[in-house]
Amino acid sequence: MSTEIKVPQLPESVSDATLVAWHKKPGDTVSRDENIADLETDKVVLEVPAPASGTILELKVKDGATVVAGDLLAILEEGEVAQAAIVAPAAVESVAEVAPVKAESSGESAHKLSPAVRRLLEEHDLDATIVVGSGKDGRISKSDVMSYLKSHSDENVTPGDPSPVAVGQAIGHARSEQRVPMTRLRNVIANRMVEAQHTAAMLTTFNEVDLTKVMSLRSRYKEPFLKEHGVKLGFMSFFAKAVVEALKKFPVVNASVEDSDIVYHNYYDIGIAVSSERGLMVPVVRDVDRLSFAAVESAIASLGTKARDGSMSMEDLTGGTFTITNGGIFGSMLSTPILNPPQSAILGMHNIQQRPVAVDGEVVIRPMMYLALTYDHRIIDGKEAVQFLVSIKQSLEDPGRLLLQV
């Protein structure tokens, strides 16, 4: 019996998607619920599961095509099927172009690969069987592939050899360019950044914070914290909690503009900006005011994993009221973050550096971080923005305030 495989229902507010990769070709057998294709929306990659076990007869959509919910993607013959019934790739308007770069290897079928890992393997023409997976049951992660590439790149370079650039110049390699289309996510990011510049009156205020006490607490309790809660104690939970206390004091910083109205939110859903292979994502930790430090750290760790393996859902990325971004993990000393519409403020964290500062009339060396608050001056006055940042500074320099909520 032939079965039609169609585009599944797309997330709310998403009108279409791009078919970015087929994982099966005509003639391939599939198991029920096995992923046969990846669809990229504005923010997430969706998998298309096989509705039943059988054999792919025909692919109806080319790689890179734009589709909407309900569009026909492929024809599946349930159960066993004779090879003669299979539509040859050449007979389906160059469907051969739709097939993956290479057939799935036995190593790939042994453990499911995320879309991000699969694309990375195909980009570098790697067989999954030669990469050692560090995940559960030997599952391969993006970091496993990158480690493999780095180790084999290092093996191919002999100490004292000239650099590839120098070699290229010596033998007269021609200069070249490569033009590639933006991914849907990168295009959305670009449009949202321009939108923020055009619609909000953005202004940034700065301060610095002495993290001596936070680092002391973290050092003192990191081992018992990990043993008790099963998650590492990082800096982000301190910042998220400090942000919530400041938002309670200055509700307008937690608000947004809709037409000529100011919408005040009486909940605290904090977006945590994370970098992924597909671009910047801002997954949201819900109700941070009600969460413990351990729950905040667990939520952030879980969302970070989703961003890296490409399993982020639309729900994970929508509804935030305030955003925190940490350029310090990349070495940034100072920056002016851009608003994440429709939010009205964003906090930028930066690199922690040992710097000389004056304390009680004496110069001492302390772990200092610059903080930046970009805010929408249409509804947030400079006084409120400065005091909001001062509140965060006070909470971090005296973490007891977070416990007592003062």
Q: What is the distance between the alpha carbons of residues 263 and 378, in angstroms, rounded to a whole number?
A: 13
Give 244: exposed, middle or buried? Use CB within 10 Å, 0-12, 13-18, 19+: buried
Mention every residue, 6+ apart, whose C-beta is less than 8 A from residue 222.
232, 233
- For 150, half-sphere exposure in the C-beta direction (CA atoms, 13 angstrom radius) is 6
Which residue in this structure is represented by tokens 């200069």? Answer: 175
The one-character DSSP state at 240 is: H
Which residue among 71, 289, 377, 398 is the active-site one?
377
Tell me which residue of 297, 346, 91, 312 sits closest to 193, measured CA to CA: 346
φ/ψ (deg, to 5) at 236: -65, -35
- Is residue 95 within 8 A of residue 26, CB to CB? The reply is yes
Q: How many residues appear in the chain?
A: 406
Which residue in this structure is represented by tokens 């955003």? Answer: 323
Question: Distance from first CA to last CA of the chain, Å, rounded?
Answer: 68
Which residue in this structure is represented by tokens 């290897």? Answer: 105
φ/ψ (deg, to 5) at 134: -100, -5
Q: Is 381 a catalytic residue?
A: yes
Tell me which residue of 137, 109, 86 sits closest to 30, measured CA to CA: 109
Q: What is the distance between the alpha carbons of residues 282 and 337, in angstroms, rounded to a whole number?
A: 13
How many CB atoms are located within 10 Å of the residue 319 CB? 12
Q: Is 377 a catalytic residue?
A: yes
Which residue in this structure is represented by tokens 């909690």? Answer: 241
Tell me which residue of 86, 56, 67 sits closest to 20, measured CA to CA: 67
Which residue among 33, 127, 161, 381 is the active-site one?
381
Supply the residues annotated as catalytic: 377, 381
